[in-house]
Amino acid sequence: MFIERETMSASTTQSWTVADLRLAGGRRRTDVRMRRLFIAAGLITLLVTGLIVYTLVKDAFSFFIDVPKHELWNIGWFPRRGFFDIKTLVVGSLMVTGVAMLIAVPLGLGVAVYLSEFARPRVRRVLKPIVEVLAGIPSVVLGYFAIAFINPNLITVLAPGANKAFNFAAAGVAVGILTIPIIASVAEDALRAVPLALREASYGLGARRVATTFRVVLPASISGVVAALILGISRAVGETMVVAIAAGAVGGGLFSTDPFQPGQTMTAAMAALGFGSDQVAGDGLAFQSLFFIGFLLFVLTFLLNLLGDRLVRRVREEY
Amino acid sequence: MALSTPSKFGASSAAGLTARITSGKRDVKGRVVEWVLLATLGVTLLILVALIVNLLDRAWPVLNGRFGDFLSSGLDASNAQEAGVWQAIRGTLTLAIIVIVVSFPLGIACAVYLEEYASRSRLARLIRINVRNLAGVPSIVYGILGLTIFVKFAGGITGGRTVIAGGLTLSVLVLPVVVITASEALRAVPRSIREGAMGVGATQWETVRSHVLPSAAPGILTGTMLALSRAAGEAAPLLLVGGITGLLRTGNLSLWEQITDGGFTSMPVAIFSYARQTGADFQAVTAAASLILLVLVVVINGLAIWLRNRFERNW
């Protein structure tokens, strides 16, 4: 066959056709089939988002239609008694997030700057995995740590009036610990993305390491650092188990702005509605309020993540 | 030499300026800043140490007194002496198997589509943004998805509030983690590897199967390990899809019946149930269970980090 073709091409100018170059049927079919399979896998992720939005919007909407509107602005969040005060939950979430950021921003950024700008390569190789271990701690374990260690040894010592068993502050500190590795790793990536030439230029002008770090590297990577903070906030707002364990108030909570008292957040309220949910399962308002808070939480974290993602990519594209 | 040594520069004399530049003054400010930064790292590590010491201290009565009994007892949040973790460990392992079977192939396939088949298409860009957003969705929201889709809508297949519904929910939860890490691993494979395969006449699929996936395997494996440890530590979505928190009686159901229509629990869910009880007895139980989960998760994570460092290739 091969020889024949050789002689043919010698006699005529060109006798190759598309059919000669085409794959054998079986190999082509496999290739097409696998391509379809991979596209389907990609589409499934879109389906997941679609289903999340659909389930949330559908029941959140019917909750919003059915609920007596004055119940949305009330003395507290007691879904089984028909009190759906949204501000109780939102303020609770904000307090936990605020305390968490007080802990996580200085520690997370400090770790990021140290690992990226000051640590020698060998030190960094050892320390970075340890910080990564912190990221792997399950949130239930930190929730337990909040009531067993943080509250008795830290919060009630610093604020003697604080609730001895459960409060927002202890939960917030534990959420902050969970957020440290996120802020540290995103911020460190941003700092390390700053080209060496910028640092060298700064040293060349006679600046020392501190000036180089804070006047050159940090400003150059500022959008990535801000992104780290935003992603950290998003993570803190969405954290559930720590708050469900350490903030108390399982069935509901009165409106409160005192971080040293127990109370309810958006995520903890959802967990409380969900587990032992034989009581709330069905079509009652309490059950539907689960979807309403879920929808609020989804929109909030979605906006934060979108913003954070934008900023991260800006850093990446600049250099 | 002295081309331009000014007698005065600004307000200071040349001699003063020279003295200022050449004096061996220590960089005090720099030192202080460096120490402060080092301290933040120290505090972070100290938190980790405090956590472990606290857990060991609290868990000691259980670890020392009835560890074997603790490992073999079921979930019981009313009596600390009877409380144990074997149902929880079994639940976590079953969930992990479901995640491995469902989420890993799906996530890797999605990553292959994004990186190998359609890296610049509009659909791929949409999927990429979508996956990044899914990675940031709070885990409890996935619980709502699981409750609506896997427990209610597909209840006929999953059997309602079973470990299957829980496993599927966790699979969806970690899917974005798998996709993102697998994509990164695939992106790190140099073009020349693909061109080599294509050059000898391999189809796209053959290139992926025989060249790209094997080259990216260590990175993909690292990502799947991280996803697995995330799934093992997650409790919030399981609460919504029916993870049992109080007391789990399995009676005389066979193992298969327990999986298909019995209640289920997992390590994090059990820890949550125990943590809500008061009293030193339950503190010990909670701490012991936390320690077991922590060891499990840290081992998986450590394996992932080790794999990454061991097989990291600079092409």
Residue-by-residue DSSP string for B189-219: S-HHHHHHHHHTT--HHHHIIIIIHHHHHHH
Distance, in Å, from the CA atom of A23 to the CA atom of B141, rounded to the nearest integer, reads 47
Q: Are residues A87 and A184 in the same domain?
A: yes
Give the max Cα distance, chain A.
101
Number of CB atoms found within 10 A of residue A237's CB: 22
Percent of chain A with pLDDT over 90: 47
| Number of structural domains chain A divides into | 2
Decide: B55 and B294 in contact? Cβ < 8 Å: yes
The answer, yes or no, to whether residue A7 has pLDDT greater than 80, is no
Which pLDDT score is estimated for A318?
A: 58
B247 - beta bridge partners?
A: B76
CATH code (residue A139): 1.10.3720.10
Give contacts of B233 with chain A, Cβ < 8 Å: 136-141
The Cα angle at residue A92 between residues A230 and A132, in degrees rounded to 5: 40
Q: Are residues A185 and A54 in the same domain?
A: no
The answer, yes or no, to whether residue A288 has pLDDT greater than 80, is yes
Give contacts of B200 with chain A, Cβ < 8 Å: none
Q: Are residues A35 and A182 in the same domain?
A: no
By the CB < 8 Å criterion, does A291 face chain B? Answer: yes
Q: Are residues A9 and A120 in the same domain?
A: no
Q: Tally DSSP H helices, then E strands, for chain A.
A: 15, 3
From residue A304, alpha-carbon distances to A236, A298, B137, B143, B237 in Å are 11, 10, 10, 20, 21
Q: Mark yes or no for CB contact A149/B51 under 8 Å.
A: yes
> Over chain A, what is the mean pLDDT?
86
The answer, yes or no, to whether residue B65 has pLDDT greater than 50, is yes
Q: Are residues A78 and A223 in the same domain?
A: yes
A147: nearest CA partner in chain B: B275
Chosen domain end from A12, A44, A66: A66
Q: Mark yes or no for CB contact B239/A271 under 8 Å.
A: yes
Which pLDDT score is estimated for A42?
A: 93
Q: Which 61-90 residues of chain A touch chain B by CB within 8 A?
A: none
Which pLDDT score is estimated for B243?
A: 76
Q: Mark yes or no for CB contact B113/A41 under 8 Å.
A: yes
Which pLDDT score is estimated for A163?
A: 84
Distance, in Å, from the CA atom of B166 to the CA atom of B239, rounded to the nearest integer, reads 9
Q: Are residues A14 and A96 in the same domain?
A: no
Decide: A280 and A273 in contact? Cβ < 8 Å: yes
> Higher confidence at residue B103 or residue B254?
B103
State the virtual CA torsion across B34, B37, B41, B43 in degrees, nearest 10: 110
Tell me what the mean pLDDT of segment A122-144 comes to. Answer: 88
Distance, in Å, from the CA atom of B196 to the CA atom of B191, rounded to the nearest integer, reads 9
Q: Mark yes or no for CB contact A136/B290 under 8 Å.
A: no
User: pTM score > 0.80 for this model?
Assistant: yes
Distance, in Å, from the CA atom of A130 to the CA atom of B45, rounded to the nearest integer, reads 8
Which pLDDT score is estimated for B74?
A: 80
State the virtual CA torsion across A232, A247, A278, B99 in degrees, nearest 10: 30
Q: Considering only the beta carbons, identify the residue of A28, A45, A118 that sits closest to B37.
A: A118
By the CB < 8 Å criterion, does A251 face chain B? Answer: no
> Over chain B, what is the mean pLDDT?
85
What is the phi/psi pair of residue B81, to 5°? -75, -25
Percent of chain B with pLDDT over 70: 87
> Higher confidence at residue A199 or residue B162?
A199
Which pLDDT score is estimated for B131?
A: 93
Tell me what the mean pLDDT of segment A74-81 comes to. Answer: 81
Q: Are residues A206 and A267 in the same domain?
A: yes
Percent of chain A with pLDDT over 70: 90
Q: Which residue has the tokens 């050159």?
A: A216
> Higher confidence at residue B84 or residue A94?
A94
- Domain B67-311 in CATH 1.10.3720.10? The answer is yes
Of the spans B16-20, B133-137, B243-247, which averages the highest pLDDT?
B133-137
Q: Mark yes or no for CB contact A31/B203 under 8 Å.
A: yes
Which pLDDT score is estimated for A179?
A: 95
Q: Are residues A44 and A134 in the same domain?
A: no
Distance, in Å, from the CA atom of B138 to the CA atom of A240, rounded to the nearest integer, reads 8
> Higher confidence at residue A104 or residue B256?
A104
The answer, yes or no, to whether residue A12 has pLDDT greater than 60, is no
Cβ neighbors of B102 (< 8 A, separation 6 or more) are: B167, B168, B171
A43: nearest CA partner in chain B: B127
Q: Of A275-289, B31-45, B114-128, B204-218, where does mean pLDDT reach its minimum?
A: A275-289
Determine the distance in angstroms separating the CA of B173 from the nearest CA of chain A, rounded to an integer: 10
Q: Residue A81 carries which DSSP code? A: G
Which pLDDT score is estimated for A195?
A: 92
Q: Are residues A28 and A85 in the same domain?
A: no
Q: Mark yes or no for CB contact B138/A239 under 8 Å.
A: yes
Terminal C-alpha separation, chain B = 50
Chosen domain end from A66, A101, A120: A66
The answer, yes or no, to whether residue B231 has pLDDT greater than 90, is yes
Tell me what the mean pLDDT of segment B234-247 comes to. Answer: 83
B154, amino acid identity: A
What would the pLDDT profile of A161-188 be if each residue is shown by its tens digit?
888 888 999 999 999 999 999 999 999 9
Q: Considering only the beta carbons, identify the residue of A45, A56, A235 that sits closest to B179.
A: A45
Chosen domain end from A66, A98, A113: A66
Which pLDDT score is estimated for A92?
A: 92
Name the pLDDT band for A241 (thresholds 50, 70, 90): very high
State the virtual CA torsion across A259, A265, A269, A272 in degrees, nearest 10: -50
The answer, yes or no, to whether residue B127 has pLDDT greater than 60, is yes
By the CB < 8 Å criterion, does A277 face chain B? Answer: yes
- Using alpha carbons, select from A92, A54, A59 the residue that is nearest to residue A285: A59
Q: Are residues A102 and A212 in the same domain?
A: yes
How crowded is the C-beta side of B184, counted as CA atoms within 13 Å? 15
Which pLDDT score is estimated for A4?
A: 47
Q: Are residues A54 and A130 in the same domain?
A: no
What would the pLDDT profile of B69-100 be if each residue is shown by its tens digit?
888 888 887 777 888 888 889 889 999 999 99
Top residue of A20, A59, A105, A144 to mutate, by most chain B CBs within 10 Å, is: A144
Distance, in Å, from the CA atom of A206 to the CA atom of A204, rounded to the nearest integer, reads 5
Give contacts of B39 with chain A, Cβ < 8 Å: 110
Q: Are residues A50 and A115 in the same domain?
A: no
Give contacts of A56 with chain B, Cβ < 8 Å: 141, 144
Tell me what the mean pLDDT of segment B172-183 comes to. Answer: 94
Name the pLDDT band for A282 (thresholds 50, 70, 90): low
Name the pLDDT band for B110 (thresholds 50, 70, 90): very high
With H, G, I as helix, E, B as strand and everything else as coil, classify residue A78. strand
Instruction: Note down the domain range covering A131.
Output: 69-318
Radius of gyration of chain B (CA): 28
Top residue of A275, A301, A313 to mutate, by most chain B CBs within 10 Å, is: A275
